[in-house]
Chain A
């Protein structure tokens, strides 16, 4: 069963002169096991959208269901793991163990079960067991982000929702987070991530939703996204498109350095062949 949004609209400061339309007529369906990227500029409604998934915000019109349940029900909440942007604001316990155990204990799991989940989550984010007794605020920014991710994973969610998971994190930390996400996805959890950092996450995305001023301006597979107009592209794809528009017959729907190199060399050999034929 999926996350379904039907004709969802959301306004901030409704019925005041300062009313802002954050989302307008959004229709969406996210299945378990999908890797979904929600893209868009600042203020496009991305963060508002994910807050609808676990009932932090309620739509002003339209309907949100999680596996057929209301997002504010406890059952639905336990199915959704959320990681917000500022990791430091999400950590509030004295030790990392307490921090990761907070979720499972709230949902009523036993001490033993909770401990199991804490260790499993810690391992999933590549952190060491010796860290469990440390204070979350003694960690580096990247480690904090991983603890925040572990907190969500300890719920063993069906849907893992992340807001800018790799922004402001060094390359090695980034790589580990991406590996964690891939692993989680392979275990059948839907990973839904909000980002405008196309560089790191893009190769993992299977489905892309692009928001523009509160409306969905694109929804489809990564391949379709690379071929569509008026969407922000990862750097390599943008370069390939430039090459194409300058008259070189390359396939523009590529986004990794290796693929691009291969494609450019292929086209180069064709051009050289043509030259010698002449």
Chain B
């Protein structure tokens, strides 16, 4: 079975052992960095940096290919849009299209940035257990005064956890409804839109029922949405602080160009 995009690949590399908060902060920082980097040299440096991290992580290459693949059409579209619609020195012209040199540069830069973003995100999600990511986010949100909005970070973390674990249930339910409809003479082959419209309503209704049931089950086991303790308390280690510090130095170096 092929895992979904951005799924966790267990391992014991340096990246796997880092605190999820370190990795979340790193991805945010690197995300900002990719969009602040203008020069060709800077982008190449970021790619080199990515390959260094990827080799440390020991993750298989397919993890990263799989992260980029679904977005490839979008990236190609961005590239061509930049290439043809940026004004500048016209390279060559055919029909009504005038690709420009500046367009080529912009297109390459933007597509490289998107690819970098996807790669760094894949690096984090593949080296971090999803539940660790949610508890990391929860811990990072804790100091924020979310109470004013009527939620707290624990509720947000539970919501994230539940939505992740609900996905396979959703697919299973869709499959069962589809099979039930097909065996009463519904043809799905001809028109994909028809299958979507036939499935959507029962699926949404079903999922709402599931959610109600789950809420009851959680309440009957004492869930209150208040502060909860965790089996795995997150603790920043020395290597987390060192990595973050190193990353900040790297960012500082990059932004000086």
Contact = CB atoms under 8 A, between A and B. Distances in A.
B66 to A, nearest CB: 16
Interface in A149-188: 151-152, 155
A89 B176 contact: yes
B206 interface: yes
A77 B206 CA distance: 26
Interface residues of B, number: 19
B205 interface: yes
B182 interface: yes
A95 interface: no
Contact of A77 (B183, B202, B205): B183
A77 B185 contact: yes
A107 B187 CA distance: 10
Given A84-B179, A89-B180, A90-B180, A18 B185 contact: no
Interface string A1-44: 00000000000010010100000000000000000000000000
B17 to A, nearest CB: 27
Contact of B184 (A13, A16, A89, A106): A106
A151 B184 contact: yes
A56 B183 contact: yes
Contact of B173 (A56, A78, A89, A151): A89
Contact of A155 (B176, B184, B198): B184
**Which one of B185, B198, B205 has the greatest number of beta carbons of chain A within 10 Å?**
B185
Contact of B186 (A18, A82, A106): A106
Q: Give the bracket for the number of chain A residues in contact with chain B.
A: 20 to 34
A74 B188 CA distance: 12
Contacts, number: 55
A84 B176 contact: yes
A84 B185 contact: no
A131 B246 CA distance: 70
B3 to A, nearest CB: 12
Contact of A54 (B173, B177, B183): B183
Given A82-B184, A88-B209, A89-B180, 11 more contacts: A18-B1, A74-B185, A80-B183, A82-B180, A92-B181, A102-B181, A103-B184, A103-B185, A106-B187, A137-B205, A155-B184
Interface of B: 1, 173, 176-177, 179-187, 198, 201-202, 205-206, 209
27 contacts: A51-B179, A54-B182, A56-B183, A77-B183, A80-B183, A82-B180, A82-B183, A82-B184, A84-B180, A86-B176, A88-B209, A89-B173, A89-B176, A89-B177, A89-B180, A89-B206, A92-B181, A92-B198, A92-B201, A92-B202, A92-B205, A102-B181, A102-B186, A106-B184, A106-B186, A137-B209, A155-B185
